[in-house]
Amino acid sequence: MADNRKYRKIAAVRQQGTNLLSPLLFFLLLLSSCSVDLPSYVISEGKMERILYDYHLAQGMAEAKGGDVETNRYLYVQKVFEKYNITEEQFDTSMVWYSGHTTHLQKMYDRIEARLERESNAAGLNLTEVDQYSRYTAEGDTANIWHGREMMFLHGNREENLLTVVVPADSTFRPGDTFMLHTTNRFIVQDRFREGFVLMQIVYDNDSVASSTTMVNGDFDVTLTIGSDKVDPKANIRSLSCTFYYAFDEGADPAFRLWVISKPILLRYHHEVEQPADTTSLVPDTLEADTLVPVHQAARPERISPEEFRESQDVDRKINVVQKKKVVLPAKGRPQRRTLTPTR
């Protein structure tokens, strides 16, 4: 009997363990079913990440050297391929697969950008302006209102070369708001054709439009602004849009071309609206102030003498002029001719 009870306890423990493992096994099976196996012709993710890191370093070195930048780009990139013992065709074929599986590509570029930032900081450099903008949130007079993807990929072909992100206006938008868009850009291009365009545009309720555009043709950060000199200071904003366009050449070879846009920041700035001047404060609010021009002055455009001006004043506003002797003003047909006595 004791042995039977012992076996029943062991069986109960095993069953309990099986019940606990069942959800875990199901989760692992689900993950394995969702994973995508790399084809044999695709460079592994770890190696591809190292290649792309050196690839972009080579692009930057070519641009910094000056001279024939396009030739330098090609030569430096070929050195990267030699370093990893791959051909340009293998690289392009692998990138075609990765660009069709953007989850893998985005993870690689997240790590590449983090590595570039770490090494630039260690060298005492600040290659991007993202740090000074990243502190802004969606609140306040200066707010980061970007709600799109944190990384975007555009191809140098007709089908996948255009992307527009629309930001509808809400109650936080005000007339006179200005905007700034900042992005980090990387190109994977073997030939000379790397021409990206960025357009930021404001549409107002009165159908007026304010916009700003720039061209991107290399691995560098871009800042685009719509300042106070372009915005409508009185109209309400209907929408704000950011468009990215990778120009393509119909006659170009079918080589792989990719524009990677990362770390987008879209700042909206509120500005104080100038109030009209308070003209009422220019006139003292007292009973003694005489803000009316006397009728007899307005009716005489000709220039008058000081004596005539004194005679034209009311009695309680006569000017007491100090004289050295008694002066009698000649009569000129005025009703208030007086003799002024000097004071001693």
Interval 82-115: pLDDT, tens: 999 999 999 999 999 998 898 999 999 999 989 9
pLDDT at 106: 92
State how far the alpha carbon of 68 is from the alpha carbons of 62, 74, 221, 247, in Å: 9, 10, 21, 22
pLDDT at 320: 47
Q: What is the Cα–Cα distance from 190 to 59, expressed in whole angstroms? A: 10
The pTM of the full predicted model, rounded to 2 decimals, is: 0.66
pLDDT at 216: 93
Interval 180-205: pLDDT, tens: 999 999 999 876 678 899 999 999 99
Lookup: tokens for 80: 């990267």
Element holding 222 (H helix, E strand): strand 221-226
| Confidence category of residue 59, pLDDT binned at 50, 70, 90 | confident
**DSSP result, 274-294:** PPPP-GGGGS--SSS---SPP
Length of the chain: 344
Structure-token match 């000056």, residue found: 66
Using DSSP, state whether 258 is helix, strand or coil. strand
Lookup: tokens for 26: 């199901």
Q: How far, rounded to the nearest angstrom, does the alpha carbon of residue 179 sit from its chain's CA centroid?
A: 5
Whether the CB-CB separation of 61 and 76 falls below 8 Å is answered with yes
Q: What is the Cα–Cα distance from 96 to 262, expressed in whole angstroms? A: 19
Q: How many helices (H) and strands (E) does the chain have?
A: 8, 11
Domains parsed from the chain with CATH numbers: 39-127 (no CATH), 130-269 (2.60.120)
Asked if pLDDT for residue 68 goes beyond 70, the answer is yes
Q: What is the Cα–Cα distance from 195 to 310, expressed in whole angstroms? A: 80
Other beta carbons within 10 Å of 140 = 12
